[in-house]
Copies of this chain bind each other. A is one copy, B any other.
């Protein structure tokens, strides 16, 4: 895999000097076109052998191009805010918006390789990390990102010579860290696992480019050209649309449906309600103060029919708690900054730190509900969202976050009554809009979308709870009880 990057590529000074001006101009041109189109972000991943010129090359790119449109990020020591959240959070918060370029040093590949090379885990865990990186990149590319991955290579002999030379150069010897010397000793392992990683993660949508790093002229020109060609190709591309080749989801062939199977007559009388509500609220308050909560966070997702009582249920959950413990994130139309990012970005930014509780009033499921039904995204987009959402929730779960998801379901008659009530009560009239009435006409397509959503995203790690919500009391108690059970199960597993 690295053969052709150990053969001593080089470019002489004259050739280099002659080629650079045109390359620079073309790179600048591409960069401004990228900004003008603001159609996709560019993510450049920098990996490879220490001493192979990673830093120098990026420095040079910043000189050649307009550095105001390039964001260089290194991910070294995690901050305590990052440590309290899933590992990918730090990358999500550093993603460049559409029209800009982000250069990531010390990215997900560096981290998995370092862990494996230093024996912190074995191949199975490395392969998990590889699969995670693949899914992340696939998703970013599907969302439009251009990902360019560079592996700067040196043969073992070249690396040793280079480190020695750097050490003797007083102007540059600050660049070598103790880690670099360590890497010299672990070169063989680094290359071996590097190959495994490259082999599995070089994909048509985000291929690796292995660049021999020994000659500065060669590597600079090579990187500059790859960057230019990738940029130009992406800028010339029409926005990808692939409505055509999406496999259809099967439809129910009898009249049975998940929502139809709910027992909508379930209810609680006032006395039982008040008693159970207080009990469950006290239980929740206790659980959130439990010392196990230090290892966990809680995410509750509320979806449901319009007027199904999401707001009321959320208030009963919140009422149990100190307002300093939770945050409620109401999801409406994305802001301009959110629209310049992959659709999951605006949820990642609200992921709670350990010990905290975030309530999403509507959520990432908008993608497979309203965006699907209203055609705000293509069928290919919402079809892939099921898998992306499962990945997302798995990352939350792996970081100790307990994820509970509610679909509050009411029947059409109940919805009609509540709409009419809302229109009559002054302080409720804000809750009802023309759009609500329009959505009502699409009852059946929404129901179908809900059925598909539950089938495809109700998982062991983050199951859906369907809540019979014709009776608000029943719904509220069921919501609270479900949250409590989920927390207790998570705490019980800690003890094992």
On A, residues with C-beta under 8 Å from B are 25, 28-29, 32, 35-36, 55, 58-59, 62-63, 66-74, 79-81, 103, 105, 171, 174, 282, 289, 311, 314-315, 318-319, 321-324, 327-328, 330, 335-337, 361, 426-427, 430
Contacts and interface: CB of A to CB of B under 8 A. Distances in A.
A70 B323 contact: yes
Grouping DSSP codes into helix (H, G, I), strand (E, B) and loop, the A interface class, with mixed when no group exceeds half, is: helix
A304 B72 CA distance: 26
28 contacts: A25-B426, A25-B427, A29-B426, A32-B427, A55-B322, A55-B323, A55-B324, A58-B323, A59-B319, A63-B318, A63-B319, A66-B315, A67-B315, A67-B318, A67-B323, A68-B314, A68-B328, A68-B361, A70-B323, A72-B324, A73-B324, A74-B324, A79-B79, A79-B81, A80-B81, A103-B323, A335-B336, A335-B337
Nearest to A33: B430
Given A29-B426, A55-B324, A74-B324, 11 more contacts: A35-B430, A55-B322, A59-B322, A62-B318, A68-B311, A68-B328, A68-B361, A70-B323, A72-B324, A171-B282, A336-B337
A72 B323 contact: yes
A427 B28 contact: yes
A70 B59 CA distance: 45
Contacts of A336: 335-337
Task: Report copies per complex.
Answer: 2
Contacts of A79: 79-81
Contacts of A335: 335-337
Nearest to A429: B32
Contacts of A72: 323-324, 327
- From A25, A67, A327, A335, residue with most partner B Cβ within 10 Å: A67
A318 B72 CA distance: 12
A311 B105 contact: no
Top-3 shortest CB links A-B: A72-B323, A32-B430, A336-B336
Contacts of A74: 324
A270 to B, nearest CB: 18
A318 to B, nearest CB: 5
A271 to B, nearest CB: 20
A315 B80 contact: no
Contacts of A282: 171
Given A66-B311, A67-B315, A361-B68, A29 B427 contact: yes
A29 to B, nearest CB: 5
Contacts of A289: 174
